[in-house]
Amino acid sequence: MEGGPAITLAALSITFLVGLSRAMILFIVTSGLSFVLGVLRVPNLAHGSLYMIGAFAAYSITMLFGGGSVGFWLALILAPLVVALISLVAERSLFCHLYQREHLMLLLFTFALMLILGDLTKMVWGADYRSIMPPTILQGSVSIFGSPFPKYNLFLLIIGPLVAIGLWLFSSKTKIGKIARAAAVDMEMVGAIGINVSWVFAFAFVLGCFLAGLGGALVSPTISVTIGMDHNIIIEAFLIVTIGGLGNMWGAMVGSLIFGITQSFGVLLWPQFAIVFPYLAVVIVLTLKPTGMLKSVW
């Protein structure tokens, strides 16, 4: 490698912050996956598809309301709701009838759902690249030690922890949240004390998908929205959930941070080999901690 990047304070700070902001998106998406995994004990292969639909929905809603900042803020609220609605429909019409079956049947169902949603997305939105801009106040960059750092990424650094705190409050302080947490640990017991298990499942699934949609909506101004986004994110999400600890929301945070930051620093220090970093990180973590960083709920 001829020459190398200058390891300046600016470069280090930006690298760290970028890794952090990327980790926030990953956290939001994987917390949803982790939640579904914890309560339903099923890896939702369609999770990436819902993330992609969230991004496309954000695009359409933004365009519907003029393509500007107002459109985007509305999209941020409405797109995840659209995704949640889609998942509710899928769950109530099809998924809920399968809860008595073996887990691998549920996995097969989520695989079929992934295929269907992928093609439906192509049918509805077509193959073109879509691009939306962040709202005006979040466009451009701030200068950190002389290097540019996108304002939108700063926004992500705020949103991520807010979502995390929101989820934590929700799962520990509200009744539904506590039921869901209990269900993740011992579903039979929850059923035995008279709570409708089917509705708990529905709720967990919809919430997980809502988070996927939110992640997709949040990521949409930073990349090109295109079909194929689902495949890219799903493998990362699964790896993160595994190294974080299955079903554990804080595990999703830890896993996302590891992923985002190693990716970022890897890019700075060995840009030639950035392609392998996520996998190396997983190998190292699982070698040192075979059941993931934090306790899994299983």
Binding to another protein, residues 140-199 (CB under 8 A): 140-141, 147-150, 152-153
Nearer to another protein among residue 179 and residue 277 (C-beta): 277
Q: Restricting to residues 116-135, which ones interact with another protein according to CB under 8 A? A: 116, 118-120, 122-123, 126-131, 133
Q: Which residues on neighbouring strands pair with residue 149, listed in sequence order?
A: 142
DSSP at 228: T
Q: How far is CA 36 from CA 152, 269, 286, in A?
A: 29, 36, 22
DSSP at 194: T
Structure tokens at 45: 């292969």
The answer to whether residue 15 forms part of the interface with another protein (CB under 8 A) is yes
**Binding window for another protein (CB under 8 A); candidates: 78-86, 114-122, 168-176, 188-196:** 114-122
CA distance 19 to 258: 9
Q: Restricting to residues 47-86, which ones interact with another protein according to CB under 8 A? A: none
Structure tokens at 149: 């750092």
DSSP at 81: H
**Binding window for another protein (CB under 8 A); candidates: 77-85, 139-147, 170-178, 196-204:** 139-147
Residue among 51, 109, 155, 250 that touches another protein (CB under 8 A)? 109
**Taking the complex as a whole, how short is the minimal distance between the CB of residue 176 and another protein, in angstroms?**
27
- Nearest CA among 135, 145, 138 for reference residue 17: 145
Number of residues located near another protein, criterion CB under 8 A? 87
Q: Restricting to residues 22-51, which ones interact with another protein according to CB under 8 A? A: 22, 43, 45
CA distance 105 to 225: 31
**Taking the complex as a whole, how short is the minimal distance between the CB of residue 135 and another protein, in angstroms?**
13
Q: Restricting to residues 245-274, which ones interact with another protein according to CB under 8 A? A: 246, 263-264, 267-268, 271-272, 274
- 210-249 footprint of another protein as x/- string (CB under 8 A): ---------x--xxx-xxx--xx--x--xx--xx--x---
**Taking the complex as a whole, how short is the minimal distance between the CB of residue 58 and another protein, in angstroms?**
15
Nearer to another protein among residue 165 and residue 185 (C-beta): 185
CA distance 7 to 269: 8
Q: Enumerate the H helices of 65-196 as residue ranges.
A: 69-93, 103-125, 151-173, 175-185, 187-192
**Taking the complex as a whole, how short is the minimal distance between the CB of residue 106 and another protein, in angstroms?**
9
- 83-102 footprint of another protein as x/- string (CB under 8 A): -----------x--xx--xx
Could you count the other beta carbons within 10 Å of the beta carbon of residue 154?
16
Residue among 50, 113, 211, 217 that touches another protein (CB under 8 A)? 113
Burial 190-220 (b: 16+ CB within 10 A, else e): beeeeeebeebbbbbbbbbbbbbbbbbbbbb
Q: Which residues on neighbouring strands pair with residue 144, listed in sequence order?
A: 147
**Taking the complex as a whole, how short is the minimal distance between the CB of residue 220 and another protein, in angstroms?**
10
- Nearest CA among 86, 99, 6, 7 for reference residue 46: 86
| Residue 229 main-chain phi, psi, to 5 deg | -65, -30
Nearer to another protein among residue 179 and residue 256 (C-beta): 256
**Taking the complex as a whole, how short is the minimal distance between the CB of residue 172 and another protein, in angstroms?**
26
